[in-house]
Amino acid sequence: MSKIDDFPHDENPDEEWDETEDHEDEEDDDDERRYGDDCPICGQFNSPPADETCTHICAWVWDGETETLGEGRILRAALDRLESFVEFGQSDDAVIDRLNSASASSHDLGVLIGGARGYLPMSEILLDLDGIAAGQGWTSGGMLGGSGRNFYVKTDGSLAALAAECDAISTDAPD
Ligand SMILES: [Zn+2]
């Protein structure tokens, strides 16, 4: 019979830690995999600087600079067109009416139009969109030190659809 149950358990496995050894965790300051957060939809860890991403990521912000990916790129392009439309039409009553009624028609369009009117950074606009889930973000030292956060699309295609709605407002000049 085995005497395994009587085998003395090691009560303190860290006891033999050798302080003179080189510990690996001092070397990973440049490990880009640390810069990321978990996708709230599928749970995968996403690190855009290390090109490690799931299909839901649409943007990431790093020290205020927003990079867009996938559908996020389509939305950013639509937002750029919307900003120009808002700027050129700011004293045009027909444009103002169109923007006001579009803002009132859906939360996310309201966020985009409000963002375009206020020249808000893309990261602030993304945070307010219902169709987007923000990651928990990260802060770290080392060569890429700073804080960042990833943004994820809750439903495939929803950002592209929102971009199309946004373009419908801004592409044709009102009569
Ligand atoms: Zn995911």
Q: pLDDT per residue over 53-93, tens digit each? A: 999 999 999 988 999 999 999 999 999 999 999 999 989 99
With contact defined as beta carbons under 8 Å apart, do 35 and 47 qualify? yes
Phi/psi at 166 (nearest 5 deg)?
-65, -45
Least confident of 28-32, 48-52, 78-82, 84-88: 28-32
93-105 helix and 71-88 helix, angle to the nearest 10 degrees: 140
With a pLDDT cut of 70, the percent of the chain lying above it is: 77
Please name the helix (run of DSSP H) or strand (run of DSSP E) that holds residue 66, with its range, or none.
strand 65-68
CA–CA gap between residue 35 and residue 128 (Å, rounded): 23
CA of 42 to the centre of ligand 1 (A): 4
CA–CA gap between residue 57 and residue 71 (Å, rounded): 9
CA of 116 to the centre of ligand 1 (A): 28
CA of 131 to the centre of ligand 1 (A): 14
The pair of structure tokens assigned to 142 is: 């080392």
With contact defined as beta carbons under 8 Å apart, do 71 and 153 qualify? yes
Tell me the whole-structure pTM to 2 decimals: 0.77
CA of 41 to the centre of ligand 1 (A): 5
CA of 153 to the centre of ligand 1 (A): 8
CA of 75 to the centre of ligand 1 (A): 19
